[in-house]
Structure formats: structure tokens, C-alpha cells
Amino acid sequence: MATSTETKGSASHHADPIPAHAGIGLRHQHYRAVVESRPPVGWLEVHSENYFGGGRPLAFLEAARQHYPLSLHGVGLSLGTDGALDRTHLGRIKALIARLQPALVSEHVSWSIAGGVYLNDLLPLPYTEEALQVICGHVRETQDFLGRQILVENPSSYLQFAHSTIPEWEFVAEITRRTGCGLLFDVNNVYVSACNHGFDAQAYIEAMPVAAVQEIHLAGHAVREIGDATLRIDDHGSAVCEAVWQLYAAALRRLGSVPTLIEWDSNVPELPVLVAEAMTADGFLAQAAEARDAAAA
Amino acid sequence: MPPLRNLQDALAASVLRGADAPLAALVRADGIAFEGRLQVYRNNTFSSLTAALKDSFPVVCELVDERFFGYAAQEYIRAHPPRAPRLAEYGGDFAEFLAGFEPVRHLAYLPDVARLEWAVNAAYHAADAPTLDPARIAAVPQDRYARLTFVVHPSVQLFASTFPTDRIWQAHQPGGDLETKIDLTSGGCHLLIDRHDQDIRFLTLDAAGFALAAALCAGASLQDAYEEAAAIDGAFDLIAALSTHLGRGTFADFVEPAA
């Protein structure tokens, strides 16, 4: 499939579409190195909330934006909270979009705010019709307010609610069907949750609405032993593990060449390590494209 | 089946206050005890918010050491969790919290160091704006100066302390002098903090100069602000002070009220 970034949402926002190559999450440790050395990565993604002020962060990002297509990834909107969306927050995202002209804007299938308190974490939803209606309402409100399509990212989680009635993959796919939003498919999150909750990661991939997937995330995770059981923790603090690379290859076979981001948020390494991870992802993307061409020939 | 809102309140209460009973009943039991699962979320919230506080208050952290800072941060997060999903804005009342925090009562200067770091943080994250071109003020006839008011640059923060808080802060910057002992009774400081070309700057003022800056920041006319300064120092040199501020870019604009 051709990447769908050019055909989704409002064309006026897409002066620099995200190419079907690997990009990296830009973190403050690498501001200067990225601007000065301009590493050979296809695009950059940042956390929107880190650029709501002015000053140095925004100045560096604007300098980097001169050379790379950009994706804005939000972590604070809390689409899954049963309560009003924060209009101030939405307004700041909108202003940032106007300033930076990102090709993609994304958020999460999760929640972070309850009773007016922000927990600074991506917390799990129960997979029920009620929660589906809440998050779909907020996705629609966000898309209407911003005047463009957003992507939502499938979550990682460490617990499941006993009263959930919908498998997570169906819940996520249904959001895209009901709201017309796109999907940010996080392969590491699928792997982490599949291990933690004992579901089949391949079945998850099979359930994804192919046309809606416009971006893939890859990251490392931690493994914690609790008693005689294992919990995988999505800490974005290490290299992508082999099992996640293999799942990524499987995802590309079904989803096509999708722009792929390397995320690394804790124990952030030197820039060349991130660039090497992106190059590895590019290798998988090229292999998947060749396999498809061979099949078509 | 609990309404979503109740479930979210229960999970937040469990993360922040360890109130586990209402939530435990809602979580599927499979292999790992509820407490082990919840600990992941609790750790995510407390460690990420502690890291955010450490980013905003690095000198406080160095002064009390990392382990104690972690403890103080945890108590602060419990009592004052963030109300908005913007971590750069989190910690505005951390100084006030420290002032009432029994374990650091013997460190009387610590809340002022936190206030100074918060001012630096505010200057760092303030909106960008051009500075006032001094030539525009020079073009105003001097007999009309008295009624001028100024729009202060968004990054400008004023800070006053009865401790040598500026010297404590400087000592903890890269390359700072941590060897020389700072006499806490050696006098306070009056500072104007702002951001210029992405760098944080401190302008040390005397009490009169600080009174002038504070009045101008509050929107007083140049005449009224001068009177505040002159009440402290009868020989206050307004022209010198004004040219310092204009030269540094303290102001973004000025307003000349209609006659």
C-alpha cells in the first residue's frame, strides 16, 4: 500500500508528508546534535506538550523543522477521561500545529486525568461500550477543534478490567471506524500487552484496519519479575528487542510500508545509537517492499 | 459494572493515595497480584513527576541530596498533584510546600532557592517577544516621559530574598564554586531575571532599583515608579536605570497615554 499520509485529513497541512522511512523521537538531549549534524533519518516526532512555552525548546525544534518532516505526538490530552476535554490544552496544540505544520498529529487510547488531577501516565481503559463512546466523542471533538484528522495509538497495559467486554484490538479498530481517525500502531505496545495479558499478537495485527494505519512506533521495554511471574514494562528505555523486530516484520507484511518511529525516552543514548535503530527499521521497510514487489511480479 | 468515571477516580486514588480496595475488585486476577500491577502505575506517576520536579529544581535537589529530594517530592506530589497536563507548569507552589515541610525547617534559605529556580524556569519557558527598540523611547520628548508605562518582556521575573540566594544558585551552576562557604547572614539579593538569545540572565539590583522595576512590572507610570525608588534612595538615578533596562531589553513595548 502507498502511505496514506497524503490522502488523509486536510491536504493544506501536509506540505511535508512523512515519508515511508524510519524517523526518530527528538528529545532535548539531542537538540544540538540533530540541528548541527542532520542525521540521515526520514522525519522527527516530538511530544507536543514540551513545546507549549517559547524559548529554547521551540527555537531548536523550529531549526530542526527546516530539515525534517514532523509529527506531533501528544501525551496529555487524556482522550479516555470521562469528563470535559481541556480546551486550553487543545488550543495550545492547535497553535503549535499552525506554527510547525506537522504532517501527523497523534494521541493515545488511554487516559491521564481523573477528578482534575493529571497523573502523567497513560492509564488503561476498560474495554466497554461506555468507554468506547467516551473516547470516540473526544476524538471527534479534537478533530473538529483542530480541523484535521488525528491518529490514536494502541496502548500498553499492566492490568485488565474484569468487566471489559471487547477485545482491545476490536476496541482500537472500532475507534477508527466510528470517528474516521487514523491509527498509530505501536508494535512494542502490542508485544508488551500480549505478553502481560496472554493474547495473540499476530491476531492483533490481523485485526488492524490497514487503511487507517499511518504510523508505526517501535521502542524498547523492561522485563520485571514479580514473584514467579513476568511483567513487561513499556519504559522506552532500551533498544528494540528481537521479538519486537520480528513482530514489526509481521506487521509490515500486513500493513505495507508505514512510516516508523524509534522512541527512546529514558536512559536516552547518544544520537548515533538512535540513528542506528532507525537504519535497522529502514532495512525491514526495504525488505518488506521487496517482498511485496516480488509477490506482485 | 462501575461507571467509567468511578473507575477512573478509583484508579487515581489507588495511584496517589494507596486506596486500593475499590479498584482491586475491578481488576482481572490472572497470575500477578493486584499490588504488583498497581505498583507499575504508581511508579510511573511518582518517578516521572519527581523527575519533572528535579528538572525544575536542580539546585534544591543538590542542596538536600537526591534521596531526600525524592522523599520531599513524593510528599509534595501526594499533597499537590498536577492539575494540568503541562509539566513545565508543575511546581509553582513547591517553594511554599518546602517552607512548611518540617524535615527542612533548619534550611531557612531552601524555599527561597526553590522560588529562584521557579523564576528561572518561568523565564526559560516564557513566550518569545521582540524587545523594545531604545530609539523609540529616544524619539519621545523628555517632558512626556513621566506618564509612560511599559510592557515588560514576557520572560522578565523579579526575585528578592533576605538570603544570598543568587550566590547559592551560582555556586551550583556548571563550573560554580562549591568550595567557598557562603555566609547566610551576608545580605539578601534583588534580581531581575530574563531570557535573552535563549540564555537566562540575572541583573542584580539594589532595593531602589528593584522597587522601580517592580512598579513598572505592575504597570505604574515612570513617574510613580520613580517615586517608589526615590522613597528608598533619595539619590536614585532614574536615567541610568532606564538606560540599563532599555539596553538589556527588559521591555517589549511602551504606552504613552493620551493627554
Among B15, B38, B154, beta carbon nearest to A119 = B15
Question: Which of B121, B143, B176 corresponds to the end of one domain?
Answer: B121
With beta carbons under 8 A apart, name residues in chain A contacting B76: none
- The CATH number given to whatever domain includes residue B131 is 3.90.930
pLDDT tens by residue, B101-123: 999 999 999 999 999 999 999 99
Contact A115 B9 (CB under 8 A): yes
Q: Find the helix packing angle between A87-100 and A55-65, rounded to 10°.
A: 40
**How many angstroms away from the CA of A55 is the closest CA of chain B?**
6
Residues B107 and B213 placed together within one structural domain of the fold: no
Percent of chain B scoring above 90 in pLDDT: 86
Of A89, A163, A231, the CB nearest to B85: A89
Q: Provide the chain A residues 56-115 that lie in CB contact (below 8 A) with chain B.
A: 56, 58-59, 75-78, 81-83, 86, 88-89, 92, 111-115
pLDDT > 70 in chain B, percent = 100
In angstroms, the separation between the Cα of residue B164 and the nearest Cα of chain A is 28
A195 min Cα distance to partner chain B (Å): 12
CA of B16: which chain A residue's CA is closest? A119
pLDDT of res. B8? 97
Task: Specify whether B142 is located in the same domain as B228.
Answer: yes
Cβ contact B12–A114 (<8 Å)? yes
CB count within 10 Å of CB A123 equals 26
pLDDT of residue A57: 87
Candidates A245, A167, A179, A173; CA nearest to A210 is A173
Which residues of chain B neighbour A132 with C-beta distances below 8 Å?
none
Q: Grid coordinates standing for B209?
A: 532599583
**Residues in chain A, pLDDT under 70:** 1-15
Kindly provide the ipTM of the predicted complex, given to two decimals. Answer: 0.91
Give the total number of structural domains in chain B: 2
Domain holding B105, by residue range, is: 1-121
Rounded to an integer, what distance in angstroms lies between the CA atom of residue B113 and that of residue A160? 44
CA dist B37 → A171, B31, B225 (Å): 22, 10, 59
Q: Which residue has the higher pLDDT, A292 or B136?
A: B136
Same domain membership, residue B198 and residue B106? no
Q: Note whether B32 and B146 are same-domain residues.
A: no
Which DSSP string corresponds to chain A? ---GGGTSS-GGG-SSPPPSSEEEE--GGGHHHHHHH--S-S-EEEEGGGGSS-HHHHHHHHHHHTTS-EEEE-SSS-TT-SS---HHHHHHHHHHHHHH--SEEEEESSEEEETTEEEEEEEPPP-SHHHHHHHHHHHHHHHHHHTS--EEEPP--S--BTT--S-HHHHHHHHHHHH--EEEEEHHHHHHHHHHHT--HHHHHHHS-GGGEEEEEEE--EEEEETTEEEEE----SPPPHHHHHHHHHHHHHH-S--EEEE--SS---HHHHHHHHHHHHHHHHHHHHHHHHHH-
Q: How close, in Å, is residue A221 to chain B by CA atoms?
A: 13
Q: According to the model, what pLDDT value does residue B259 have? A: 67
Tell whether B131 and B244 lie within a shared domain. yes
Pairing type for strands B251-255 and B199-205 reads unpaired
Residues 240-279 of A with CB under 8 A from B: none
Q: Are residues B223 and B100 in the same domain?
A: no
Q: Residue A243 carries which side chain, given as an amino acid letter?
A: A
Give pLDDT tens digits for B177-221. 988 899 999 999 999 999 998 889 999 999 999 999 999 999 999
Pairing of strands A70-73, A229-233: unpaired
Q: Are B21 and B115 contained in the same domain?
A: yes
Contact call for B8 and A227, based on CB within 8 A? no
Please name the member of A118, A125, A197 whose beta carbon is closest to the beta carbon of B85. Answer: A118
**Looking at B121, B156, B186, which one is the last position of a domain?**
B121
Which sign does the torsion angle of CA A6, A11, A15, A18 carry?
Answer: negative
Residues of B in contact with A130 (CB under 8 A): 3-4
Asked if A81 and A114 count as a contact pair (C-beta separation under 8 A), the reply is yes
B131 and B259: one domain? yes
Same domain assignment for residues B153 and B243: yes
Do B103 and B136 fall into the same domain? no
Give A144-190 as a 3 state SS string. HHHCCCCEEECCCCCCCECCCCCCHHHHHHHHHHHHCCEEEEEHHHH
pTM: 0.91
Section B61-80 average pLDDT: 97
Q: Residue B1: its pLDDT value, please?
A: 77
pLDDT digits (tens, 9 = 90+) for B76-100: 999 999 999 999 899 999 999 999 9
Amino acid symbol at B31: G
Q: Kindly state whether residues B144 and B29 are assigned to the same domain.
A: no
CATH level 3 topology of A4-296: TIM Barrel (3.20.20)
B100 shares its domain with B131: no
Taking CB atoms and an 8 Å cutoff, what residues of chain B touch A224?
40
